[in-house]
Amino acid sequence: MPKKSTNVDMTAMCDVAFLLLTFFMLATQFKPDEPVTVTTPNSISEVPLPDADIMLITVDPDGRIFFSIDNQNVRNDLITKLDEQKGLNLTAEEKNNFIIGASVGVPFSQLKSYLAASVDEKAKLDKSAPGIPTDTVVTSEKNELALWIKEARYSNPKLRITIKADAKASYPDIKEVISTLEGWKIFKFSLITGLKAVPPGTAAYEESMGGMKSE
Amino acid sequence: MAEMEVADKGGKKGPGVKKSKKLSTRVDLTPMVDLGFLLITFFMMTTTLNKPKTMEINMPYKDDEEVIEDETKIKESTALTILLSKKHRVYYYEGMATDPENTPEVHVTTFKPEKGIRDVIIDKKNKVEDLKRRGALNEKDKTTILIKPDTNSTYDDLVSMLDEMAINDIRVYAIVDITDVDREFISETENANPGN
C-alpha cells in the first residue's frame, strides 16, 4: 500500500478564516468603555437603543450617577459651555480628554483634576468617584446633574434621554434622576433593559402571537 | 492552490550556467490560519451583536404651579394600588384608599410568575371588564394601576412592575409617591404575617 501524505491543503481553510475575520471586523462595534459595570434589569420591550443622539445617565448599584453623551462635537460644545459657566479653567488638553472620554461621574469641583488624570488614574478615580450630585429639586444649586442635562440639551436638542441603572440601585436614587428630568419638563425617556421572553398566557403574549399570524 | 507555478522559460539555461535548485513555492499556511482564527475569536468576543433594548416611559405632565386634580377623576372601582417594598415584596389593595374610614384589605405577594402580582392584575382587569358589562362602569373606563415604590425598593422592582404593565396590556398607570398611610399598610400587613 502506498504511503499517503498527511499534508492537508490549508488554503481553503485560510480563505474561510479570513472571510469570517473580515465579516467580524466590519460588523463589530466596540463596546463603549464604561466606568462602572451595570447589570440592567430585564423587560419584554424590544425597542432597540438608537444609534445616535443619546444622553446616557448611568446609575450604579450604590446610586452614583455618571453622565455621558455620544457625539464628540456635542461633547466639545458641552464642555466649553460648562467651563465658562462654572469657571473650571480647563486646559485644551483636559477638554480634549473629556471629548474623547467616557462617562463622567464627578462633581464640578473635581472635574478638572479628573480630566487631567491619566487613563490608569482615571480607572482608579472612577472606583472612588462620588458620582454627579443630584437632588429632587431641579433648580437647587446642589443639583449638578440638572445643569449637565440642561447644557447637553442646548448643545443637541434632539438628544434622547436614556437611563441605564443597575437592578440593585435603590428607588430613591432613580427617583432623584426622574425628578430632575421632570423638573426640566422631560416626561418621555427610555430605560435601558435586557431582553426577556414574553410569558405565555398573557395579553402581551397573545398580541405577539396575533401579530405573527396576521403576517 | 497556494503554490504558484513559476514560469520556467528562462533563456539562461546555457551549458555554462549552473542550474539553480528549484525551490518549492509551497508555503505552510498553518500559522496563518492560526492567526486568522485567533483574530476571529477576538472580534467575536468584543463585538456587541445584540444591542441593548430600551423601555420607553412617559411620566404624567407635572407642573408645580398649576395643580391638576387628576386623581379624583379615577374611579375607585377601576383602581388598583401596588406598593413596592423591601425584599422584592409587593403589597396591593383595591382602590386608592382615599376614604380614611374605610381601610382597604392589603395583601402581599411577589413577582413570581405564578400566583404573583401578575395574576392579581389579570383578576383586576377581568373584574373591571365585568363591571363594564354590567353597566356599572362606562365604556371609557380602564383599569388603572397606581405604582407606589417605597424608599427601600429597588430599580429592579420598578422595572419589573412597569414590565407587568406591558405584559398585561395595562394602558393607564402612574408612578406615584408613597404616602405615610401606605407605609402604615405595609407595616400592618407585615405584623399580620410574621412568618414571611
CB count in 10 Å sphere of residue A38: 18
Across B120-147, b (16+ Cβ under 10 Å) vs e yields bbbebbeebeebbeeeebeeebbbbbbb
Tell me, yes or no, whether B68 lies in a domain: no
Decide if B155 and A171 are in contact by the 8 Å CB cutoff: yes
List the grid coordinates of A66: 455618571
Residue A60 has pLDDT above 60, yes or no: yes
**Can you give the CATH number for the domain in which B140 is found?**
3.30.420
Helix, strand, coil in percent for chain B, rounding step 5? 35, 15, 50
pLDDT in tens, A109-168: 888 888 887 777 777 777 777 888 887 777 777 788 888 888 888 888 888 888 888 888
Its sign, for the CA torsion B111, B112, B114, B116, is: negative
Q: In the predicted model, what is the mean pLDDT of residues B130-159?
A: 82
Tell whether B27 lies on the interface with A, counting CB pairs under 8 A.
no
Tell me, yes or no, whether B127 lies in a domain: yes
Contact A146, A161 (CB under 8 A): no
Q: State the pLDDT confidence band at B195, using cuts at 50, 70 and 90.
A: low
How many whole angstroms separate alpha carbon A96 and alpha carbon A72?
10
Tell me, yes or no, whether B145 lies in a domain: yes
Interface of A with B in 177-206 (CB under 8 A): 178, 181-182, 187-195, 198-199, 202-205
- Tell me, what's the pLDDT at A33? 65
Decide if A41 and B169 are in contact by the 8 Å CB cutoff: no
Residues in chain A within 8 Å Cβ distance of B84: 171
Decide if A191 and B55 are in contact by the 8 Å CB cutoff: yes
Find, in chain A, the residue whose alpha carbon is nearest to that of B170: A203
Q: How is chain A split into domains, by residue range?
A: 52-194
Tell me, yes or no, whether B115 lies in a domain: yes
How many whole angstroms separate alpha carbon A16 and alpha carbon A13?
5
Residue B183's domain spans which residues?
75-192
Nearest Cα residue to A164 out of A67, A70, A79, A72: A67
Tell whether A25 lies on the interface with B, counting CB pairs under 8 A.
yes
Interface of B with A in 153-192 (CB under 8 A): 153-160, 162-163, 166-169
Residues in chain A within 8 Å Cβ distance of B51: 48-49
Interface of B with A in 86-105 (CB under 8 A): none
Residue A213 has pLDDT above 50, yes or no: no
DSSP structure class, residue A42:
E
Tell me, yes or no, whether B15 lies in a domain: no
pLDDT in tens, B169-193: 888 888 888 888 888 888 887 777 6
> Min CA distance, A198 vs chain B (Å)?
7
Complex ipTM: 0.76
- Tell me, what's the pLDDT at A215? 34
pLDDT in tens, A160-195: 888 888 888 888 888 888 888 888 888 888 888 888
Tell me, yes or no, whether B100 lies in a domain: yes
Q: State the pLDDT confidence band at B194, using cuts at 50, 70 and 90.
A: low
When scoring B54, B142, B150, B173 by the number of chain A Cβ atoms within 10 A, the one with the most, hence best to mutate, is B54
Find, in chain B, the residue whose alpha carbon is nearest to that of A165: B155
Decide if A188 and B43 are in contact by the 8 Å CB cutoff: no
When scoring A6, A7, A14, A19 by the number of chain B Cβ atoms within 10 A, the one with the most, hence best to mutate, is A14
Q: State the pLDDT confidence band at B73, using cuts at 50, 70 and 90.
A: low
Q: What percent of chain B has pLDDT over 70?
A: 76
pTM as predicted:
0.74
What total number of domains does chain B contain?
Answer: 1
Tell me, yes or no, whether B44 lies in a domain: no
Find, in chain A, the residue whose alpha carbon is nearest to that of B153: A171
- Tell me, what's the pLDDT at B174? 82
Q: In the predicted model, what is the mean pLDDT of residues B119-132?
A: 84
Tell whether A37 lies on the interface with B, counting CB pairs under 8 A.
no
Residues in chain B within 8 Å Cβ distance of A173: 155
Tell me, yes or no, whether B109 lies in a domain: yes
